[in-house]
Structure 1
Amino acid sequence: MPEITLAHLSDLHLPHDRLRIPARALLNKRMTSQISWRCKRRFLHVRAVADAVAADIRAMAPDVVALTGDLTNLGLPAECRQAAEWLHTRLPGPICAIPGNHDMLVRESWSETLGQWAPWMAADADGFPYLRHIGPLALIGVNSARPMAWFSAAGRIGARQAARLADILHEAGRQGRFRVVMIHHPPITGLVSHRKSLLDAGLFAAAIARTGAEMVLHGHAHISCMSTLPGPEGLVPVLGIASASMHARRQERAAAWHRIAVTATTRGYRAEIHRRIVTSGHVVRELPCWSIETERAARVRF
């Protein structure tokens, strides 16, 4: 099998200052997010930084791009339209995306908001988790975003999604595929506070423990990190990535993306993980890579 590469980025939080926002659209939970944006977040999330990440991804020409949520700040129809245009013009295809909590702050018409991302995501709210095959990769998009109470940025996947996730993972594992699960909220306890956490992380962890996966990708925490979850035959790596638009000095907080190169071995797969971060002057620098190796129970021809 030739090398196949996956680009992982998250939490674009594309600036919306130039968009026309009806006042009535802020008479709900969006109000607090807008205040946070105006007072703090607009100085941290910079469009030029996100564009630098996108340009670097294009230059590396990955086989597929995985985007783990929070493309917007308020989940407004105009923001979703802006994000769709950004995806179409800035990133190479194919793209697999999932929503983040900021994309679903309040209940809104799917067709007017997240439905605009249908080319890169599930067709509707009931279409999660969805599955995409890219060569030997099986990319599974889980939706942890739910409209929550004021001041909560938590998420849930629900029992139906968890059961469906286990079924998809089982079948993809039987086929011998390299299974990559995408979720916005970290499925790991302690990475974020309770009000930002995945409230039913146990359901997610149980699916992974029962059926296994080769890798889990998440965003939300705005920090680049690696954790693990127990699988049936060993630990499953869980990779978080910082916000792709974040202007920060600390290396783990700086805007970044993962270039994940997957190749077959005699017993399974080897994945080399390259983290590329945006430094001062929007220059992209690569950190030393690390690798993981996994076994597969079955093999398929591609």
Structure 2
Amino acid sequence: MTRIVHISDLHFGKPAVYERLEALRALLSGMRPAAVAVSGDLTQRCANREFEQASSYLRELERTAPCIVVPGNHDIRWLGAVARNLGLAGLFRRKAHEFKYSRYRRHICEELNPFLEVPGAVIAGLNTAHGISRGSLTRRLRDLGVIGHVRRQDVERVRRRFEQAPPGAARIVMIHHNPIKGQLSGRHGLSNTGWALETLAALGTELILCGHDHQEAIHATERTSPGLVISTAGTISNRVRPGRSSSFNLVDIGEESLRIVTYTWNNTAKDFLPSTERLFPRPQRTGRYNLGSMQDDGRDLGHVEQTDPRR
């Protein structure tokens, strides 16, 4: 069995709750995961001090298991995103792009699309946090600069990585933005949800890890082949949605099944306790997958089974 702890939206800065962060760190050592996957929003204001705190915390977690991290929309400098879009092609746009991710790269990781292989699984990080950009344009002003998108060239990198993976390894993609509409927010995190899910499924992906929505959830798609399971981790911070608590997901991957357990913060116990569990059969691999057409048609993906972890 391969065990992965999936956490998201730590939001170091004012929203951070150090009691919960310490409880999580202590709990991880007993879980003995093969990897810790952190799906973005390490900071609240993309400030150097917040990144320093996040970096220190990740180093503590890595004493238990290797960490793989992707940036979230709170981890990029919005001025860089705006400058890149307004600038002319060439040096200025390149410098603006580097500025946008400069603090994340300095403190967390130079690679925006990281890759981690552990026995039984390969995890491909896919950056969806691009700020205000052409691919993330939306008519909803409240989502401007917040919504993300999956880029074609990044998917091609995932394809190459998955082709080199061992045949029996679970192929996992980690993004920041939620591709399924949040139950409470009513919002998708991605502007190209339908294309992204169908394209990633065509690569042989069986599990997507994401965050962003601050609501824990477990989804199973019905229209993609092979089927996709989506683990949406809640936030560890105090920026929880009404009626929700801080939470994270524990993923256990066996030869024939995939098990996801949501751990929710309990104020009485002052600890994270298991609150729900879902079990999914793993797809049988019959050969190589291919992308087919990678043209982004912008379609939404309907007919998705959504599970409320409180049930």
Secondary structure of 1:295's aligned partner = coil
- Give matches, 1:1-302, under 5 Å: 3-16=1-14, 42=15, 45-90=16-61, 92-106=64-78, 107=80, 108=99, 110-118=101-109, 123-125=110-112, 128=113, 130-148=114-132, 151=142, 152=144, 153-172=146-165, 175-189=167-181, 192=185, 197-229=189-221, 230-233=223-226, 235-246=227-238, 253-264=244-255, 269-281=256-268, 282-297=270-285
How far off its partner does 1:95 sit? 0.6
Offset from partner CA, 1:14-44 (integer Å, 9 cap, x none): 125xxxxxxxxxxxxxxxxxxxxxxxxx4xx
> What is the alpha-carbon distance in structure 2 between the residues aligned to residue 160 and residue 248 of structure 1?
33
> What is the alpha-carbon distance in structure 2 between the residues aligned to residue 295 and residue 209 of structure 1?
11
Does the 8 A contact of 1:176 with 1:298 survive in 2?
no
How far off its partner does 1:256 sit? 1.3
> What is the alpha-carbon distance in structure 2 between the residues aligned to residue 134 and residue 224 of structure 1?
25
> What is the alpha-carbon distance in structure 2 between the residues aligned to residue 297 and residue 88 of structure 1?
36
Secondary structure of 1:89's aligned partner = helix
How far off its partner does 1:222 sit? 0.5
How far off its partner does 1:239 sit? 1.2
Secondary structure of 2:197's aligned partner = helix
TM-score by length of 1: 0.75
Aligned to 1:34: none
Secondary structure of 1:113's aligned partner = helix
How far off its partner does 1:190 sit? 5.5
Mind listing any 5+ residue stretches in structure 1 that lack a counterpart?
Answer: 17-41
Mind listing any 5+ residue stretches in structure 2 that lack a counterpart?
Answer: 81-98, 134-140, 288-311
> What is the alpha-carbon distance in structure 1 between the residues aligned to residue 47 and residue 240 of structure 2?
26
Partner amino acid for 1:272? Answer: R
Does the 8 A contact of 2:215 with 2:241 survive in 1?
no
> What is the alpha-carbon distance in structure 2 between the residues aligned to residue 190 and residue 285 of structure 1?
23
How far off its partner does 1:287 sit? 2.2
How far off its partner does 1:134 sit? 0.3
> What is the alpha-carbon distance in structure 1 between the residues aligned to residue 118 and residue 179 of structure 2?
24
Aligned to 2:309: none
Offset from partner CA, 1:46-84 (integer Å, 9 cap, x none): 222222222222232211101100010111222212210
How far off its partner does 1:109 sit? 6.1
How far off its partner does 1:197 sit? 2.5
Does the 8 A contact of 2:6 with 2:38 survive in 1?
yes
CA RMSD of aligned residues (A): 2.6
TM-score by length of 2: 0.73
Secondary structure of 1:82's aligned partner = helix
> What is the alpha-carbon distance in structure 2 between the residues aligned to residue 250 and residue 166 of structure 1?
38
Secondary structure of 2:154's aligned partner = helix
Aligned to 2:291: none
